[in-house]
Amino acid sequence: MHFTPFEIEETRRMFQEQHLDVRTVTVGISLYDCVSHSLSVFIDRVYEKMQRVAGNIRACAQEIESLYGIPIINTRVSLTPLALVSAGACTSVEDLCLLGERVDEAAQAIGIDFVGGFSALLHKDMTDHDTLFVESIPQVLTRSTCLCSSLSLAHSSSGINVDAVYATADLILKASKAGPLGPARFVGFANVPDDNPFMAGAFHGVGEGESAVHVGVSGPGAVLATVREYPDAPLHILADKIKRTAFKITRLGQLVADEAARRLGINAGIVDLSLAPTPVVGDSVARILESIGVSVCGAPGTTMALSLLNTAIKKGGMMASTNVGGLSGSFLPVSEDEGMAEAVAKGVLTLQKLEALTSVCSVGLDMIAVPGDISVGTLAGIIGDEMAIGVVNHKTTAIRIVPAKDKKVGDWVHLGGLLGEAPVIDVTNFPETKLFSRGGRVPPPITAFRN
C-alpha cells in the first residue's frame, strides 16, 4: 500500500474528529471595468460581473467537497473596494445604499455566504467621495444581510488617519443601533492585505488581477489534538509538531485552491494559513493555548504561548503553499471561539490582555462585545491603540467590535452561526479628551523610511 495505516488513520481523525475543513473559498473580482457615471449602468454591470465570474462558485465547492471529502464551510466573493469605483455613479448616501443592496442581492442570487468590498482606503486621507461613503456604511449594513464592509485606517508607510479612526468609531455606534449583526460585518484595518479571503475584511485589492480564487484554511481542532498528544514535550519540540500539522492542513488548502481555480477557469490566488476557530467545542484557539500550558486563556504566559503557536503555524504553512497571503496567522475572535468567550466571562481575558495578544497574532480585536453605551471617544481610543500596534510593528491589525445595545458588562450577546456568542467585556468610559478633536494624522514610524 502506497500509504501507511498511520497516515490513513491520521487523515480520517482530522476530518471526522478534529473538525478539519476549508473555511472559505473566496473569488476576488475586479470591478474597474464596471465604472460608469450612471448609477443604474454601474449597478447592473457589477451585478452581471459577479454572476458571470462567480456564478458557479457554490456548485464548484460542492463538487470539490464530494470529490475530496474535504468540507468547505463558506463560499464568498470579494470585490474591488467599492469607494474606488463608485464616485461617478453614486453622489448621495441613498445611491450608495442602492449599490449595497444590489451587491447583496447578487450575492444571494449566487448563493454565497458573504460578499466583501464595501470598502474604502483611508489610511492617509479621504476624498469627498470617501466621506460620503463612510457616512453611508451604517445604513448599508442595516439594509443588507451578507454584504461586508471594511476601512483601511492606517498603514506603516503613511501612519494613522486619526479623523478616519474617529469616523469609524462613530459609524460602528450608529450601525449598532439596529442590532449587533451590522457591526459584526464591519472591520477597520491597519496594513490591510489586498488578498484576504476572510470576512469581514475581504476585498480585491488595487494590485490584483481580473479575478483570483483565494482559500482560507481552518484547523484549530487538528492543532489542538497535536498539542494534547505531547503534554510533556519541551516547547521547541512542541512548536515543531505544530509546524508539521500546519503543513498538512495548508497542503489541503492548496489542493482545494488549485482545483477550484481549474474548475472555475480563473487564477489561483493565495492560501491564507490562518487558524480560524468556530464556536464548536474542540475548534478553539483558546483551548490550544491552554493545552500548551496556560491555566486559562488570558492568564500570564498567554502572549508567549500565542507567539509560539502563531510562529509555528506560519513556518509550517509557508512551505505547504505556492502563494501565501491574506492574514495568515492565528485569529482571536472572542465570540467565535468558545474558549475565548468563557475566558472573558471568567474575567481572566480582558480588553487590555486582548490588545497585548494582538501584537503577536495575525489580526486584532476581533468579535468583542462592548457595552452599548460606550462613548465615541473611548471606542475611537481603542481603535487608535490597535492601529498603532499594527503601524509600528509593520503587521496587520484590525478591529471588529460589537457595541451591544442595552447590554451591560457580563451580559451575553448571541450572534448565531459562525459568529457565535460572547459576554460583554468590561470597558471604562473616560471623559472625552482633546486627542481626537485635534484631528490630523499620526506620522509613520521611522522604519517606514527605507529608501
Partner 1 sequence: MHSVITVLGKDKTGIISTVSRVIAAHKANILDISQTTMQKTFVMMMMIDVEENNYKSLREDLQNEAKELQMTINTYHEDVYNAMHRI
Rounded CA separation 139/178 (Å): 9
Rounded CA separation 303/305 (Å): 5
- Does position 252 interact with partner 1 (CB under 8 A)? The reply is yes
DSSP state of 359: T
Provide, rounded to whole angstroms, the least separation between the CB of residue 254 and partner 1. Answer: 7
Window 67-96: residues binding partner 1 (CB under 8 A): 67-70
Stretch that binds partner 1, among 2-10, 26-34, 145-153, 210-218 (CB under 8 A): 2-10
Provide, rounded to whole angstroms, the least separation between the CB of residue 312 and partner 1. Answer: 17
How many of the chain's residues bind partner 1 (CB under 8 A)? 21
- Does position 251 interact with partner 1 (CB under 8 A)? The reply is yes
- Does position 62 interact with partner 1 (CB under 8 A)? The reply is no
By beta-carbon proximity to partner 1, the closer residue of 59 and 67 is 67
Provide, rounded to whole angstroms, the least separation between the CB of residue 245 and partner 1. Answer: 10
User: 402 forms bridges with which residues in the sheet?
Assistant: 369
- Does position 299 interact with partner 1 (CB under 8 A)? The reply is no
- Does position 446 interact with partner 1 (CB under 8 A)? The reply is no
Provide, rounded to whole angstroms, the least separation between the CB of residue 219 and partner 1. Answer: 12
Provide, rounded to whole angstroms, the least separation between the CB of residue 247 and partner 1. Answer: 8
Stretch that binds partner 1, among 5-13, 206-214, 323-331, 357-365 (CB under 8 A): 5-13
Q: Which of 87, 93, 178, 255 binds partner 1 (CB under 8 A)?
A: 255
Stretch that binds partner 1, among 11-19, 40-48, 106-114, 440-448 (CB under 8 A): 11-19
Amino acid at 391: V
Rounded CA separation 266/58 (Å): 15
- Closest listed residue to residue 325, CA positions, set 184, 439, 140, 195: 195
Rounded CA separation 375/96 (Å): 27
Output phi, psi for 197, to 5 deg: -90, -5
Provide, rounded to whole angstroms, the least separation between the CB of residue 44 and partner 1. Answer: 37
- Does position 66 interact with partner 1 (CB under 8 A)? The reply is yes
Rounded CA separation 320/242 (Å): 13
- Does position 262 interact with partner 1 (CB under 8 A)? The reply is no
What sections of 148-234 are H helices per DSSP? 162-176, 220-229
Grid coordinates representing 202?
475581504
Q: Which of 49, 155, 174, 248 binds partner 1 (CB under 8 A)?
A: 248
Grid coordinates representing 411?
451580559
- Does position 1 interact with partner 1 (CB under 8 A)? The reply is yes
Contact predicate 185/148, CB 8 Å: yes
Q: Which of 2, 236, 434, 450 binds partner 1 (CB under 8 A)?
A: 2
- Does position 11 interact with partner 1 (CB under 8 A)? The reply is yes
What are the strands, taking DSSP E only, across 299-396?
365-371
What sections of 55-156 are H helices per DSSP? 57-68, 82-85, 93-110, 128-142
Rounded CA separation 282/197 (Å): 23
By beta-carbon proximity to partner 1, the closer residue of 7 and 33 is 7
Q: Which of 74, 218, 254, 302 binds partner 1 (CB under 8 A)?
A: 254
3-class secondary-structure state, position 230:
coil
| Binding site residues, partner 1, CB under 8 A | 1-3, 5, 7-12, 16, 66-70, 248, 251-252, 254-255
